[in-house]
C-alpha cells in the first residue's frame, strides 16, 4: 500500500497572534452576511492579506476551510485533492473519500469539479473556503477548473482568493453578475490610527505624531514596510527614508531585510535562516537535519516572538513558514554566501529526508527547485511505478518536460513510460516524435541490446505498436512489431503486474485512445492484430481485455449483435479480473444498450442496477444512471428518465452542469421529449464543438444526428439535412450503423434525406453511397412505386400533391395541357390508381 504524505499545515489557517492589530473596518466587511459568493483580496506582498483573513475566520459563524498554496500545487490533481482535504477537515461528511478516487482515476476535469460542488452543496452549513497565495497558480487547467467551480458555486459556500497579482479569471462577468467583492491595496493600506495601534502594540519607538505620519506616508500604509521601519529603530533619521528610494515595487525592501534585519542577528541564526529558506514548510526535525542543530524548534519560536516574518501554522506538530518576501530575500542571500554546489547539496539533503519520510512527490519537486536534474531523474525512475499507480501522470509529464527543456538526457525507462503517458492523453504526435528519438538514441547507444534495458525494449515495442494503432497508422506495421516480439519472446520487467489505465472516464471504450476515438477499423484488418494478443503471452494483460471491449462495441456498431455479445462477456471477465471499472462499466452499458435495442427493458435495467452494486465511485455510477435514463426514454417514461438524471447530479433541479458525454446526450434527448428544442440544440452544439476539438468521431456523429433532429423540429429543413449529411458522411467512412438505427425520431429525417439524395439535389455536399443510407430506411410500398416514375413524372406528381391544376402544372413546366394529361395518365397507371385524389394520397404518404 503506497501512502501519500499530506502536509496538514497547508490546510490549516495561520494563527492570529496577540500582536496582530485589530482592523474592524475590514473584518466587518468580510462577515458572511455581507458577502457575495466570491471575494478577491489582491495586493502585493506584505499588505496583511493572510492576517486579515485569519482574523475574519475567527468571526465567521459557519465552517471555515483554509488552503495555503505553494508553487508545487500547479498540478491539478495535487491542487484539488488538497482543496477537498481542506473542506473535509472542517466538516463531518467524508467528502475526500467520495471525490478523491475520481482525481486518482484522472476523470475529466469538469466532472471532478461538479462532483465536489454537488457534495458540498449537501452540507447543511455555511462554509467559507480561503485560497491563500493563489497567485502562485500558473496552470491554465486549474484556472479553468476554478472558474467553473465559481460559476456553479453552491449557495452555502463563500470563496476567498488571496493573491498578489491580477487573476486570469473571468472577473468582468462576475462583476456584472454582482457576485464578486474585491478588496485591494486601497482598502488594505493601514490608516494612521491602525499604524499608531501597531507601533504601540509592538513597542516600536517613534518621536511624535509627525514622524509616525511621515513613516505612514513613505510606506503608503504597507503593513510589512511599517514593521520593517519599526524594527529598524530608524525613526530619528527621517532623511534616511527618502520617498525617491521607495517606488511602487519596493526595490529597497530586500536590501533592507538583508542589511538591517538579517545583519542584526547572530551569525548562527543568520545561517539558520539562510539555509532553511529553501523549505516551503519549516518543520523543526527537517530544519535540525539541514542545519546540524538540535534546537530548531526553539529557534523558530524565538523568531516568531521577535516578529521576524515567520508565520506559525496550526497542526498536530509545530510547523512554520517564512513570510514570502523574507523568504525571497533569504534566498538572495543564500546565493551570495554559498556556491551553487553547496546550495544544490542543501536541496538534495532535504529531498533525501522527504524520501525517508515517504513523501517522494515533494522530494522530487524539491530536486527540481534545486535544479538537481540527475537526482530528479534517478528518483523519478525509482518511483515510476508508484507515480503511475497513484495516477500522478500529469505531474510526471510536467517533470519530464522540465528535464527535456533543460537538455537533460532522461533515463530510458522514464522516456518509454513518457511515451505511454502521452499516448494515454492522446498526444500521439508527440509520442511518435519521442519514439523516433528513442530509436535514434538506440543507434548511438544501443540501449535496446543492454541487459538493464531489455525489459523496457520489450515494453517499447508494445508501446510503439499501440501508438501506431491509436493514431490510425499502418496496422500492418503494428502487427509486425507484435509478431516479432512474440517470436523473440517478451522480457520480464517490474511492470509485468502493473495494469495500465486505458480508460479513466469514458462510458464507451471506443472514445478512448485504445479505441482510436471512434475511428472503427474494418474487421478483416483489425482482427488479425487482435488475435496476436488473444493467442499469445499477451492474453494475460489488461490491454487484451480492452481489445475485446473495443471489438464488442465495434461489432455492435456494425450490427453484428450476437458476435458483440460474445466479445462483451470476455471483456467483462477481464474487467473484473483486473478490477478495472474503465473496462467493465462500459461493457455493462453496452449490454444494457443491446437489451434496450431488443425492447428487453427489464433486463436492461437489471444489468445497470447490478453494475451499480459493484461500483461506488460516483463518476461511474453517474454514467450508469445516465444509461438508465436513456432506457426510460426509450420506454416512453419521461418523468423516470428525468429522475434518474437528477439523481446523478445531486441537484434539486435538473440542469446541464455535467460534462459527461453520455449524460449530456441523454439530457438532450430528454429535452427533445419535453419539447424544449432550442435548449436541446444549444447543448448539442456545445457537445459537438467539444467533440470536434477532441476529434471524437463517435460523439461527432451522435451529436450531429441530434442537431439535425433539433433543426428539423425548428422547421429549419435545409440546416437539418446539411447537418445529417455531415453525420452520415463521417458514419459511412467508418461503417457506423447502430448509432443511426437506434436514434428514435431520426427515420423521418433520413427518409427526406434519401429522397433528396436520389434526386441529386445537393451533389456539392459530397457523395455518399446510396446503399449505405438505404439500410437505415424502410421504404413503404408507395416509396417503391414512386421510384418507378421518371424524373418528369415525379415533378408532375409533386406539383399535383401541392394542389396545382393541370393548367398551372403546364405553365410551371413549360408544357401544353395535353402533354400534362398524357403524363398524368402514365402516373396513374404506374401508381395503380384511377383518380387524382388517390394519386395525391400516395404522393403525400
The least confident of 253-267, 366-380, 431-445, 748-762 is 253-267
Q: What is the pLDDT of residue 231?
A: 67
Architecture field, domain 779-845 = Orthogonal Bundle (1.10)
With beta carbons less than 8 A apart as the criterion, state whether 736 and 520 touch: yes
Question: Can you tell me whether residue 81 is helix, strand or coil?
Answer: helix
8-188 CATH choice from 3.20.20.70, 3.50.50.60, 3.40.50.1370, 3.40.50.300? 3.40.50.300
In whole angstroms, what is the distance from residue 348 CA to residue 354 CA?
10
- For residue 766, the tally of other CB atoms under 10 A from its CB is 9
Alpha carbon 173 to chain centroid, angstroms: 22
pLDDT digits (tens, 9 = 90+) for 225-269: 777 677 655 444 433 323 333 333 344 566 666 766 787 788 999
pLDDT at 104 over 60: no
Phi, psi of 64 (to 5 degrees): -135, 125
With beta carbons less than 8 A apart as the criterion, state whether 195 and 167 touch: no
Q: What is the pLDDT of residue 98?
A: 58
Region 60-87: mean pLDDT is 87
Nearest to 256 by CA among 222, 221, 231, 238: 231
With beta carbons less than 8 A apart as the criterion, state whether 565 and 606 touch: no
pLDDT band at residue 652 using 50, 70 and 90 as cut-offs: very low
In whole angstroms, what is the distance from residue 171 CA to residue 184 CA?
14
* Per-domain residue ranges of the chain: 8-188, 192-250, 251-337, 499-611, 675-778, 779-845
The least confident of 47-56, 281-290, 404-413 is 47-56
pLDDT at 97 over 70: no
Q: How far apart are the first and last CA of the chain?
A: 68
DSSP annotation string for 117-129:
HHHHHTSSS-EEE
Alpha carbon 185 to chain centroid, angstroms: 34
Question: Can you tell me whether residue 4 is helix, strand or coil?
Answer: coil
In whole angstroms, what is the distance from residue 723 CA to residue 729 CA?
10
In whole numbers, what is the pLDDT of the chain averaged over residues?
83
DSSP state of 34: G
CATH topology match: 8-188 vs 251-337 = no
DSSP-derived pairing of the beta strands 38-42 and 157-163 = parallel
- CA triple 723-726-730, angle to 5 deg: 150
User: For the structural domain made of 251-337, what CATH number should be given?
Assistant: 1.10.10.10
With beta carbons less than 8 A apart as the criterion, state whether 839 and 797 touch: yes
In whole angstroms, what is the distance from residue 832 CA to residue 835 CA?
10
pTM for this predicted structure: 0.65
Amino acid at each position: 500500500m503506497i501512502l501519500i504524505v499530506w502536509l496538514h499545515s497547508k490546510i490549516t489557517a495561520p494563527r492570529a497572534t496577540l500582536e496582530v492589530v485589530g482592523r474592524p473596518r475590514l473584518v466587518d466587511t468580510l462577515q458572511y452576511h455581507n458577502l457575495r459568493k466570491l471575494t478577491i483580496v489582491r495586493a502585493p506582498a506584505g499588505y496583511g492579506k493572510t492576517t486579515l483573513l485569519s482574523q475574519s475566520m475567527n468571526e465567521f459563524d459557519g465552517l471555515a476551510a483554509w488552503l495555503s498554496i505553494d508553487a508545487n500545487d500547479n498540478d491539478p490533481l495535487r491542487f484539488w485533492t488538497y482543496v477537498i482535504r481542506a473542506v473535509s477537515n472542517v466538516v463531518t461528511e467524508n467528502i475526500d473519500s467520495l471525490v478523491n478516487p475520481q482525481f486518482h482515476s484522472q476523470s475529466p476535469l469538469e466532472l471532478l469539479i461538479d462532483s465536489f460542488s454537488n457534495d458540498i452543496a449537501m452540507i447543511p452549513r455555511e462554509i467559507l473556503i480561503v485560497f491563500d497565495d493563489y497567485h502562485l497558480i500558473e496552470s491554465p487547467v486549474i484556472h479553468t477548473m476554478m472558474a467553473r467551480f465559481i460559476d456553479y458555486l453552491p449557495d452555502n459556500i463563500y470563496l476567498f482568493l488571496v493573491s498578489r497579482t491580477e487573476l486570469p479569471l473571468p472577473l468582468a462577468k462576475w462583476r456584472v453578475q454582482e457576485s464578486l467583492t474585491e478588496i485591494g491595496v486601497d482598502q488594505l493600506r493601514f490608516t494612521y490610527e491602525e499604524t499608531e495601534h501597531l507601533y504601540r502594540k509592538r513597542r516600536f519607538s517613534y518621536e511624535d505624531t509627525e514622524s509616525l505620519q511621515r513613516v505612514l506616508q513613505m510606506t503608503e500604509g504597507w503593513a510589512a514596510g511599517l514593521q520593517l521601519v519599526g524594527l529598524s529603530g530608524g525613526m530619528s533619521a527621517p532623511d534616511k527614508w527618502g520617498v525617491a528610494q521607495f517606488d511602487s515595487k519596493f526595490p529597497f525592501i530586500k536590501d533592507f531585510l538583508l542589511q538591517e534585519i538579517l545583519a542584526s542577528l547572530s551569525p548562527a541564526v543568520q545561517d539558520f535562516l539562510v539555509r532553511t529558506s529553501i523549505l516551503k514548510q519549516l518543520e523543526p526535525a527537517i530544519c535540525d537535519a539541514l542545519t546540524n542543530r538540535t534546537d530548531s524548534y526553539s529557534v523558530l519560536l524565538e523568531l516568531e516572538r521577535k516578529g521576524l516574518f515567520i508565520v506559525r501554522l496550526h497542526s498536530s506538530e509545530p510547523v512554520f513558514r517564512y513570510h514570502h518576501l523574507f523568504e525571497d530575500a533569504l534566498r538572495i542571500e543564500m546565493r551570495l554566501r554559498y556556491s551553487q554546489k553547496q546550495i544544490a547539496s542543501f536541496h538534495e539533503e532535504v529531498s533525501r529526508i522527504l524520501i525517508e519520510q515517504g513523501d517522494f512527490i515533494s522530494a522530487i519537486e524539491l530536486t527540481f527547485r534545486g535544479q538537481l536534474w540527475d537526482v530528479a531523474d534517478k528518483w523519478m525512475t525509482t518511483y515510476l511505478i508508484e507515480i503511475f499507480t497513484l495516477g500522478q501522470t500529469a505531474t510526471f509529464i510536467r517533470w519530464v518536460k522540465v528535464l527535456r527543456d533543460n537538455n537533460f538526457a532522461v533515463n530510458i525507462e522514464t522516456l518509454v513510460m513518457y511515451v505511454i503517458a502521452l499516448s494515454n492523453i492522446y498526444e500521439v504526435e508527440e509520442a511518435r516524435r519521442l519514439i523516433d528519438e528513442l530509436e535514434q538514441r538506440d543507434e548511438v547507444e544501443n540501449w535496446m541490446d543492454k541487459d538493464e534495458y531489455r525489459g523496457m525494449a520489450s515494453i517499447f515495442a508494445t508501446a510503439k505498436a499501440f501508438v501506431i494503432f491509436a493514431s490510425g497508422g499502418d496496422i500492418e506495421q503494428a502487427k509486425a512489431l507484435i509478431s516479432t516480439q512474440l517470436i523473440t519472446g517478451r522480457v520480464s520487467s517490474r511492470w509485468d503486474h502493473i495494469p495500465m489505465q486505458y480508460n479513466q472516464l469514458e462510458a464507451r471504450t471506443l472514445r478512448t485512445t485504445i479505441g482510436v476515438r471512434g475511428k472503427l477499423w474494418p474487421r478483416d484488418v483489425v482482427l488479425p492484430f487482435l488475435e496476436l494478443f488473444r493467442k499469445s503471452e499477451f492474453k494475460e494483460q489488461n490491454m487484451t481485455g480492452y481489445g475485446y471491449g473495443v471489438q464488442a462495441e465495434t461489432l455492435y456498431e456494425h450490427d453484428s449483435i450476437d458476435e458483440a455479445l460474445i466479445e462483451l462477456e470476455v471483456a467483462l471477465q477481464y474487467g473484473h479480473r483486473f478490477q478495472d471499472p474503465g473496462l467493465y462499466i462500459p461493457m455493462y452499458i453496452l449490454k444494457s444498450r443491446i437489451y434496450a435495442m431488443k425492447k428487453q427493458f427489464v433486463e436492461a435495467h437489471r444489468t445497470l442496477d447490478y453494475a451499480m452494486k459493484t461500483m461506488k465511485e460516483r463518476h461511474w455510477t453517474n454514467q450508469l444512471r445516465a444509461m438508465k435514463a436513456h432506457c426510460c426514454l426509450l420506454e416512453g417514461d419521461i418523468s423516470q428518465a428525468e429522475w434518474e438524471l437528477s439523481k446523478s447530479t445531486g441537484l434539486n433541479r435538473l440542469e446541464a452542469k455535467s460534462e459527461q458525454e453520455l449524460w449530456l446526450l441523454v439530457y438532450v434527448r430528454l429535452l427533445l421529449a419535453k419539447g424544449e428544442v432550442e435548449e436541446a440544440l444549444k447543448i448539442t452544439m456545445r457537445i459537438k464543438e467539444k467533440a470536434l476539438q477532441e476529434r471524437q468521431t463517435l460523439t461527432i456523429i451522435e451529436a450531429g444526428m441530434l442537431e439535425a433532429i433539433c433543426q428539423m423540429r425548428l422547421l429549419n429543413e435545409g440546416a437539418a439535412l446539411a447537418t445529417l449529411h455531415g453525420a452520415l458522411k463521417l458514419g459511412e467512412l467508418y461503417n457506423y450503423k447502430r448509432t443511426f438505427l437506434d436514434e428514435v425520431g431520426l427515420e423521418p429525417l433520413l427518409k427526406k434525406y434519401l429522397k433528396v439524395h436520389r434526386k441529386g439535389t445537393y451533389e456539392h455536399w459530397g457523395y455518399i453511397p446510396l446503399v449505405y443510407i438505404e439500410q437505415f430506411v424502410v421504404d413503404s410500398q408507395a416509396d417503391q412505386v414512386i421510384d418507378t416514375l421518371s424524373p418528369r413524372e415525379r415533378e408532375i406528381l409533386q406539383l399535383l400533391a401541392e394542389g396545382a391544376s393541370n393548367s398551372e402544372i403546364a405553365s410551371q413546366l413549360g408544357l401544353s395541357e395535353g402533354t400534362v394529361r398524357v403524363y398524368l395518365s402514365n402516373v396513374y397507371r404506374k401508381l395503380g390508381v384511377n383518380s387524382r385524389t388517390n394519386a395525391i394520397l400516395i404522393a403525400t404518404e
